[in-house]
Amino acid sequence: MSGAALLQFRRGPRVLETTVHQSKHMARFDSTLQTRMHEPFRRTRDRTIAALLQSTQAEASPDWDPEQVHADKTAKKLCDCGRHATLYRDPTDGQLIQSQARCKNRLCPRCNSMRSHQLQKNIEEHLAKLNSPRMLTLTLEHSSDGLEEQLTHLYESFRRLRRSKQYKAKITGGVAVCEITHNNATGKWHPHLHVLVDGTFWDQKQISQAWEKASGGSKIVDIRMIHDRSKAGRYVAKYVAKIGDVNGIPAEKIPELALALHGLRMVQTSGSLYGSTNNAKGEEREEGLDYIAPLGPLADAAARGDDEAKRVTDAIREAVQCKRATDTGRLHPDDERRCREAAQLLWDWWHAETENINNDNRPEPKNPTRKRGAPDRSERLWQDAEPRADALTNGL
């Protein structure tokens, strides 16, 4: 990929133009809030966006193929991740909740990191209930098929294995996480499953035979006892975060990865561990909350040196850290007052900011010296005695 290739990214009414670099080329399009949010993952995020945009520049055909269409949509989601962060307020006690407006895309390293952290917490809550946890790895034979075809084959094979009598007799529950690697020497994809299982002893040779029958020829399996249960959650969750790390994958392969991951369940649960990875409780819901104002413009103004914006930002940063008491389920009266004051400061600032924007964009008044038409609009009536045919045709 040429380092000087010009990219055009369709973002609504405007077009972003940038150059493919593996450095901070997207930073100039990010808001101040986005820059802070994605700074730890800047290099990976920039490389992913650049690779996706590069695939849309192919001139082989005037029409985009499905991979190019999905690459363009994915790039837009990654660029907009965190752009529309908003502050909400719980009407019951005034607690402030910051909605980060995450894209939640599989290729977003920041979203994957947060998803991995929540998954680890959820799994660790269930580890104490397990009888004999083990880590089972299921691998397919190397193939030249596309990634989407291999993933379909892998998931169908695992479904057949779970329905087999041997699996049901030995395994009482499991959490399966998909890992995708790429062999740069051969150019082949290598998807495989890591399954945290619970149950009774199952000999590896028997597992290999059952997997060979379910997959139609693949025999490579591995099963190991988990001695340190505190590490099991981290071991499984790291593969979720690894999906967004595309540094080891060639840039021209990233669009194929994005299309193959679309709609794919990267984490599956079954049996006694069913529902153990539910991340819904880790997401703040916006239903029933009062909308205050967006946070992006405030962060941009504070970064430019606006003293009032800095004061509002400090008040919000202090207020969002206020948590409800475990015994009453409500904020402390001092925290409640602090939250309401911070919300009012933000609303006043945003109201004044929008007033200034509207005044700047307001059209100039019409010329007051221009002669006005007659009140009965008689001057605007058509004065021709005999209407022309072309005028009638045009609806005049």
| pLDDT tens digits along 205-222 | 999 999 999 999 899 999
- The b/e string for 248-287 (b: 16+ C-beta within 10 A; e otherwise) is ebebebbbbbbbbbeeeebbbbbbbbeebbeeeeeeeeee
Q: What is the arrangement of strands in the sheet containing 134-139, beginning at the earlier edge strand?
A: 221-225, 134-139, 188-199, 171-183, 267-271
pLDDT value, residue 146: 92
Low-confidence ranges of the chain (pLDDT < 50): 1-24, 280-283, 371-396
CA distance 23 to 120: 31
> What was the pLDDT predicted at 235?
72
Long-range contacts of 184-190 (CB under 8 A, 24+ apart): 184/248, 184/250, 186/142, 188/142, 188/143, 188/144, 189/143, 189/146, 189/147, 189/150, 190/139, 190/140, 190/142
Give residue 370's pLDDT: 52
Look at residue 4 in the predicted model and tell me its pLDDT: 34
Residue type, position 314, single letter: D
Buried residues in 44-82 as b, exposed as e (16+ CB within 10 A): bbbbbbbbbbbbbeeeeeeeeeebbebbbebbbbbbbbb
Please name which of 300, 389, 385, 391 lies closest in space to residue 349, comparing C-alpha atoms.
300
CA 391/CA 382 separation, integer angstroms: 11
**Contact between 28 and 72 (Cβ < 8 Å):** no
CATH class name, domain 122-282:
alpha beta
Where do the structural domains in the chain lie, given as residue ranges? 6-82, 122-282, 295-359
Per-residue model confidence (pLDDT) at position 170: 93
pLDDT of residue 366: 59
Q: What is the pLDDT at residue 358?
A: 64
At residue 147, the pLDDT reads 93
Could you tell me if 229 and 119 are in contact, meaning their C-beta atoms sit under 8 angstroms apart?
A: no
pLDDT at 166: 92
pTM: 0.75
pLDDT at 222: 93
